[in-house]
Structure 1
Amino acid sequence: MDENQEEDLSIAEVIEVPQVGLTHVAAHISLDILDSARHRRKLYVGEWLPEPVPDGTTTEAPTPGRASVTLGKSGRTALMVVLESLTPAARAAFVLRDMFALSFGEIAAVVGRSPQMCRNVASSACRYVRDRRRQETASDVHTRIVTAFWAACDTRDLAALVSLLDPEATTLSDGGGKVRAALKPIHGADRTARFMLAALLQYPKLEATLQSVNGKTGLVLRHETTVSGVVSFHVQGEKITDVWLVLNPDKLRSWNHS
């Protein structure tokens, strides 16, 4: 047996289950990336939102009652926003446990915590994420509410817009310092409605389409054929509780690739 064969056997003995070894390596790399990203976001101008992904069929935004949108199956903006609120260790514990079914001992080796602490962190993260998922309304209701939201924006109907929003609704807009956007969260139905109408007045020729954004119906805003904004929503019951407006052109490249 030559030296190369001995080395191959040694590697095989160390990595008893290759998939698990690769998962550990990928998780460590991901944690390093998350730590780096968290540092960069401290320097980010204004609010940070996950990049919206186009994954459905586009139609012109109709009047209420005429919506027809094909929804994709990718991760939802709401879920990504929730995951972003977790610490890197909690997010890793949740993903490794919930999606890869690793044991808490294996997760502990990845995130550098005790198995019991990983159990607590993963359980807490799972409850948090699942609570948010249970709060989501049915897709057809979500689409109807978003359609009505745009109809109210398009007609500048402040009262109708306020009626669609939860009294405690929150709006985040992400311009990344590249375009004008609110630097802090906007709270309340009236303030959210007025902010949206004021933002739309800046673009009198703005066109909107209903499209699946990260798996849920959202609004794609175009100005002179260029996508200038993508709006995602969280709807609970029949009220919009969260509005996420991405304006940063760096995050809209996938919408303007053609």
Structure 2
Amino acid sequence: MDENQQEDLSIAEVIEVPQVRLTHVAAHISLDILDSARHRRKLYVGEWLPEPVPDGATTVASTPVRASVTLDKSGKTALMVVLESLTPAARAAFVLRDMFALSFGEIVAIVGRTPQMCRNLASSACRHVRDRRRQETASDVHTRIVTAFWAACDTRDLAALVSLLDPEATTLSDGGGKVRAALKPIHGADRTARFMLAALLQYPKLEATLQSVNGKTGLVLRHDTTVSGVVSFHVRSEKITDVWLVLNPDKLRSWNRS
């Protein structure tokens, strides 16, 4: 074997890294990032929400996944909120088991828990995700309810707005300390409706459009041509149960790219 053949062989050996090894390395890096992010969020001003993504803004590389995977292509806001509520270990166990079909023995080596604990983490995370999935409303119904919500906001119709909200509806607004936002959750249909109307009165020139946000119809709020807020909703039984309002400009950069 000549020197060129030996060099070609060594390069091939370096490039041909087993997928399992890559998965392990990526998982360890992700856990470190999640732990760091969890610490930063303790210092975050007010409520923290996942970054809203306009459809088509990002491309996800094709990865072989199990047919039973419960995540869809857009990672809806409701599902992202559920995943964010999990511990890094629980999220890792769920993703590695459900998306990459790793054995619990392999997951143990990554998350540093016992096999039984890994099973419990993955099972609990899967139950939370599937419970949220079962609560999903058909897209056309979701769009109809959100459209009616904005019509009530636009006409300042408090009664109509309250009628669209679940009595136990919750609103979270994320300003990140950069812009004014409610620092704590707002609970109840009446309080949520009044909060939304009061916020709109402060910005009379605000324009809203119905657009897809993380795969579901939401509201994109603009001042002049700049997106200043994105609102996502969770609808169940034709009532809005959750309103997620992202105002932090750092999380709206993908909406303001020219």
Once the two structures are TM-superposed, the CA of residue 6 in structure 1 deviates from its matched residue by: 12
Query: Which range moved further: 212-221 or 58-67?
Result: 58-67
Distance 1:15 1:165, change over 3 A: same
Deviations 1:197-225 (A, max 9, x none): 00011110111111110011100000111
Secondary structure of the corresponding residue to residue 212 of structure 2: strand
Distance 1:93 1:187, change over 3 A: same
Deviations 1:71-93 (A, max 9, x none): 99411000110000000000000
Once the two structures are TM-superposed, the CA of residue 252 in structure 1 deviates from its matched residue by: 0.5
8 Å contact kept, 1:55–1:72: no
Once the two structures are TM-superposed, the CA of residue 116 in structure 1 deviates from its matched residue by: 1.3
Distance 1:195 1:68, change over 3 A: farther
Once the two structures are TM-superposed, the CA of residue 57 in structure 1 deviates from its matched residue by: 11
Partner Cα distance (1:66, 1:94) in 2: 12
Aligned position for 1:35: 35
Secondary structure of the corresponding residue to residue 210 of structure 1: strand
Q: Residues 15-30 of structure 1: matches in 2 within 5 Å?
A: 18-30=18-30
8 Å contact kept, 1:61–1:210: no
Secondary structure of the corresponding residue to residue 94 of structure 1: helix
Partner Cα distance (2:170, 2:97) in 1: 31
Distance 1:62 1:9, change over 3 A: closer
Distance 1:102 1:237, change over 3 A: same
Distance 1:116 1:7, change over 3 A: farther
Query: Which range moved further: 187-196 or 58-67?
Result: 58-67
Once the two structures are TM-superposed, the CA of residue 11 in structure 1 deviates from its matched residue by: 12
Once the two structures are TM-superposed, the CA of residue 9 in structure 1 deviates from its matched residue by: 11
Partner Cα distance (1:220, 1:199) in 2: 14
Deviations 1:90-142 (A, max 9, x none): 00000001111101110111000011110111011101110001101100000
Distance 1:120 1:159, change over 3 A: same
RMSD: 7.7
Compute the TM-score of the two structures, normalised by the length of structure 2: 0.88
Q: Percent identity over the alignment?
A: 93
Partner Cα distance (2:71, 2:126) in 1: 25
8 Å contact kept, 1:61–1:147: no
Aligned position for 2:240: 240
* Aligned residue-pair number: 258
Aligned position for 2:5: 5
Once the two structures are TM-superposed, the CA of residue 68 in structure 1 deviates from its matched residue by: 30
Distance 1:57 1:192, change over 3 A: same
Once the two structures are TM-superposed, the CA of residue 2 in structure 1 deviates from its matched residue by: 12
Aligned position for 2:154: 154
Partner Cα distance (1:68, 1:102) in 2: 14
Partner Cα distance (2:18, 2:62) in 1: 52
Partner Cα distance (1:184, 1:35) in 2: 23
Q: Which has the higher contact order (CA 8 A, sep 6+)?
A: 1
Compute the TM-score of the two structures, normalised by the length of structure 1: 0.88
Distance 1:117 1:221, change over 3 A: same
Secondary structure of the corresponding residue to residue 169 of structure 1: strand
Q: Which runs of 4+ in 1 moved over 3 A?
A: 1-17, 56-73
8 Å contact kept, 2:166–2:239: yes
Partner Cα distance (2:61, 2:192) in 1: 21
8 Å contact kept, 1:57–1:71: no
Once the two structures are TM-superposed, the CA of residue 257 in structure 1 deviates from its matched residue by: 1.0
Query: Which range moved further: 9-18 or 216-225?
Result: 9-18
Distance 1:88 1:179, change over 3 A: same
Aligned position for 1:221: 221
8 Å contact kept, 2:68–2:98: no
